[in-house]
Structure 1
């Protein structure tokens, strides 16, 4: 039987994430994982987050879609307090079993 991802080890970000993704977004992604853990969701070792900008009442909001393959899961949420919402960006969070890393797919 395959071990389930727990996302309970130390959390790290790559230099690329630290340089290009503002802290409000990084923290929101970590909180999304913690919220799924608190709900008891079965989580894949790879969490995919796709960032986009959605206009609401004339204001740009940071939209995030979180998805995984096994078991299939997809949900979206908005991040408040983002100074400059970004679009067209995919971020991965990998659970190695002993630590978790937030990175861009091209950094893998």
Structure 2
């Protein structure tokens, strides 16, 4: 867990279920703990929805790393999408690529 403030764009707030937002922040914290100094400032989360599962693939460019988790799909209205989390020195922001 971080002491940095966390923000999200209006689009994330309106279009991404709160449960999925929480899952993404938790996944972000887990990979941050695992990667430590290798964590890139831009994390990409690709969400794929199947009937019973959600597959969340995280990737970063520098260094090139990828991690995937599959969870039960209990999120209402979940859809295939891509979400970014950008870690600034002062805060972290969750956004859709279209928001950038």
* In structure 1, C-alpha distance between the alignment counterparts of 2:79 and 2:15, rounded to whole Å: 10
1:47 pairs with one of 35, 43, 46: 43
Q: Which runs of 4+ in 1 moved over 6 A?
A: none
C-alpha RMSD over aligned residues:
1.8
Question: Aligned partners of 1:30, 1:84: CA distance in 2, in Å?
Answer: 19
User: Which one has the largest radius of gyration?
Assistant: 1
Give the structure with the higher percent helix: 2
Structure 2 residue ranges without an equivalent (≥5): none
Which runs of 5 or more structure 1 residues have no equivalent in the other structure? 1-6
Q: Give the corresponding residue for 1:68.
A: 60
Scaled by the length of structure 2, the TM-score of the pair is 0.86
Q: What secondary structure does 1:84 align onto?
A: coil
With structure 1 as the length reference, what TM-score do the two structures score?
Answer: 0.81
Aligned to 2:88: 96
Matched-pair contact (CA < 8 Å) for 1:60–1:85 = no
Counterpart secondary structure, 2:52? strand
Task: Quote the Cα distance in structure 2 between the aligned partners of 1:102 and 1:79.
Answer: 20
Asked if 1:24 is matched to 2:16, the reply is: no
1:11 paired residue number: 6
Return the alpha-carbon distance in structure 1 between the equivalents of residues 19 and 58 of structure 2.
16
